[in-house]
Structure 1
Amino acid sequence: MTDLSTRVAPSALTRAAPALLGYAAVRGLGLLTLALWSAGSGKSAYTLLTARWDALWYTRVAELGYGYEVRLPNGDVHSNLAFFPLLPWLERLVAAVTPLSYADAGFLVSLLASLAAAWGIFAVADHVYGRRAGVCAVLLWAVLPVGIVQSMAYSESLFTALAAWSLYAVLTGRWLTAGTLALLAGLTRPVGLAVVAAVWAAGITSIVRDRRAAPADRARDSRRALGMLLAPLGAAGYVLWVGHRTGGGPLGYLDVQAGWRNGFDGGYAFARFVADKFTSIPSALAGLALLAGVGLVVWLYLVCVRQRQPLALLVYAGVVTALALCASSYFGSKPRLLLPAFPLLFPPALGLARLRTRRSAAVLALIAGASALYGAFWLNGSGPP
């Protein structure tokens, strides 16, 4: 008798194949455009992807462990304790079992994780809205203006993969899997709290629903409870460890972030940043663009609510969006911080799915070209952090 997993996995991969092939094509276009642009600028595209900004901090953690810090002339202290450990752990593991450097390992992990993220996004969208919408959602995620970050040695792709598959596990009632993946997401980025919140919101809702509509199922209830208990352990464990290491107590991680002038102020600093753009006519155009971008994000979330997305998706996207928009520093990073909020793409994905294939393909191809050019321009200019 054929094992169920051997029959399910190939069919699931076959179902996701159009989305994954399309995603690979978009990312390939982005990387090719970056390589050509960088060559014309006398820069190394590979260096831009693997050895600048946060990528350097991750490789230093992988190579040297925690404890490295930079003291700036203004007194700020940039500590590598701000960077969660899962990506550097994977970089160290890959470097240990292959001839790759830590930077090479980070690039490989990011590439594989981006494919896993694309598959996870497809799985969630396919489960909720159908296969065609799933393909469109993946391609929209691929053609985002800062989509080139998905191919960098950053943690966005790894986090999005863990988050997407955790949410899929929630939607399909696999609570132990959901909790384990939420734990790993919590070891990847501070925004892992969004995955934990989604698991807990869905878990509590399902407990209430089951008590009203179904007889007790101890095995199911035990798996759900264990999954909910596992979910916060990654983020909580790392934050508490940092607090112990720094002597700052349970909130010591916030002190580390303060050294980077980063925190959560409800969006006050970002609002001031946008308002300051309106001091002259040229910068006012940038201010209007920022307002339009924020308005678009908020509108998409409201559409998600009106379309009655599953609670887990709404909670997850809401927390990711709130943390991205209400952080008190690194305003240029906000589009990158919003990359994991993939449920926001489901409303436009549904719109594309209703079009004829040729029309939707033409729209996506046009956006993919613009995204590839923007990504190359962005990384050869200011780029992340």
Structure 2
Amino acid sequence: MSVRMTIGPGRAPDAVRPVLLPLAVFAGIRALCLAVLAGWAYASDRSARELLSMRWDSLWYVRVVEHGYDFTLTAPDGRVLSDMAFFPLLPWLERTVTALTSLGPADAGLLISAVASMAAAWGIFRLVEHFYGSRTALFTVALWAALPVSIVQSMAYSESLFVALSAWALYAATVRRNWPLAGLLASLAGLTRPVGLAVTAAVWVAAALAWRELAEPGASGHSAARKRILLGAALAPLGAAGYILWVGQRTGSLLGYLDVQGAWGNGFDGGLAFARFTGGLITGPTPFAGVALLVGVLLLLRLCWACVRQGQPLPWLVYGGIVVALALCSSGYFGSKPRLLMPAFPLLVPLAAALARTRAAAAWAVISAAAAIAAVYGAFWLHGSGPP
């Protein structure tokens, strides 16, 4: 369901409100998280700016901006870690902003993340609003902003940029049926993170459904429509495929990108490493942590099923399912899995719909509590020793 409002005398506030409200809610939650981080950093004699822009993955993006793809680091166990594990769109944008402004690459990354996170919030709102109404869409944005790991949305990381491209690609494919735009955005998402595969698959599924509709009796404009569908489907994988082929050329192996990721420990093993990790916690000295992790995974799978029962568009289900599968079934650093799940915003829609049916005071109390937890946890997380 889409909300439409007519602009007339005395109606300007009503016309502007649907645009501003989700962005204001999102910005308010982000401001709370940043304020708590700044206070914590001040009390710890540290720099909130450096915590957000000069740690872990952020440093690797800065190195790409400054030196190109030629940096490697030898880990204590002898593994050679290459910066080619990091996809190029964010460092390209950082280099562009640096060239156009007086900002350094790290600060450029913060600016890009801030703009992209607002674009992501607006894209999520527009997408969910079309199918489930403005109230559910607003709570979806609020829940996404208040995820426990949402501090990443304000870091010089690629998550906000990826979610912005993903949300608008899904909007272009499932709402606007603008196939060239959907393919272009999917291609850019593929240049941002390896999970760009999820966006490409979603666009392909949406394109296949649209193609099937053209075969129905009474359908018109077959030739032009099919050309647009084919163009969008062809564009969608080009970003990821182009980068992976380039890495293969640099490494001298067609599967060179897999070798690069393997050195980082980021292989795909169907979840065996994650299962061993969880089992080790349960049978080790911290069984409660293992049980809590197992319960968390079961709740996540329950959310996936809730999306199916809610009747979400098939491209959404494909997108969210692939994001979840890649996060849970990779063998990478287990502390990063909550961050890797952050792009799966369709999983929040059933929860948002439940909040939309609740009294406003109770619903916003839940959002406020979640935002407070996210603010404290985010500050605690960034002051720790491990990467998010």
Instruction: Please report the TM-score for the alignment, with normalisation by the length of structure 2.
Output: 0.94
Q: CA deviation at 1:140?
A: 0.2
- Partner residue, 1:272: 276
Deviation at 1:279, TM superposition (A): 2.7
Q: 1:235 corresponds to which residue?
A: 240
Q: Which residue does the alignment assign to 1:84?
A: 87
| CA shift digits 1:221-262 (9 cap, x unpaired) | 11111001000000000000000111011x110000011111
Q: Give 3-state SS (helix, strand or coil) of 2:55's partner.
A: coil
Question: Cα offset for 1:103?
Answer: 0.3
- In 2, distance between residues paired with 1:325 and 1:256? 20
Matches within 5 A, 1:192-231: 192-213=196-217, 214-231=219-236
Q: What percent of counterpart residues are identical?
A: 58
Q: Which residue of 2 aligns with 1:293?
A: 296
Structure-2 residue corresponding to 1:51: 54
Find the counterpart in structure 2 of residue 42 from structure 1.
45
**3-state SS, counterpart of residue 198 of structure 2:** helix
The 4+ residue runs of structure 1 with deviation greater than 6 A are 10-13
Aligned-residue offset at 1:15: 2.0
Question: One-letter code of the match for 1:272?
Answer: R
Letter in 2 for 1:169: A
Which of these residues, 136, 139, 148, is aligned with residue 139 of structure 2?
Answer: 136
When normalised by structure 1's length, the TM-score is 0.95
Asked if the contact 2:80–2:263 (Cα under 8 Å) also holds between the matched residues in 1, the reply is yes
Pair 1:145-2:133 in alignment:
no
Contact 1:16–1:122, Cα closer than 8 Å, also in 2: no
Can you list the C-alpha shifts for 1:31-74, whole angstroms capped at 9, x where unaligned?
Answer: 00001011111211111100000000001101111010001232
Structure 1 segment 111-130 matched on structure 2, within 5 A: 111-130=114-133
Distance 1:383 1:366 in 2: 26
Asked if the contact 2:214/2:222 (under 8 Å) is kept, the reply is no
Amino acid at match of 2:222: D
Distance 1:75 1:379 in 2: 27
Q: How far did 1:270 drift?
A: 0.4
Alignment equivalent of 2:310, drawn from 293, 307, 310: 307
Aligned length, in residue pairs? 375
**How many Å apart are 1:311 and its aligned residue?**
0.7
In structure 2, distance between residues paired with 1:216 and 1:363: 48
Aligned to 2:334: 331
Superposed CA RMSD in Å reads: 1.5
Per-residue CA distance 1:335-379 (angstroms, 9 max, x = gap): 000000000000000001111222211111111111101111111
Check 1:312–1:294 CA distance in 2 against 1; reply closer, same or farther (3 A cut): same
- SS where residue 355 of structure 1 aligns? coil
Asked if residue 176 in structure 1 is aligned to residue 184 in structure 2, the reply is no
Cα separation, 2, equivalents of 1:122 and 1:263 = 33
Matched, 1:96 2:114: no
Equivalent residue letter for 2:170:
L
Q: Provide the rounded CA distance (Å) in 1 between the counterparts of 2:386 and 2:47.
A: 14
Extract unaligned runs of 5+ from structure 2. 1-6, 8-12
Amino acid at match of 2:19: A
Structure 2 letter corresponding to 1:114: S
Cα shift at 1:20: 0.6
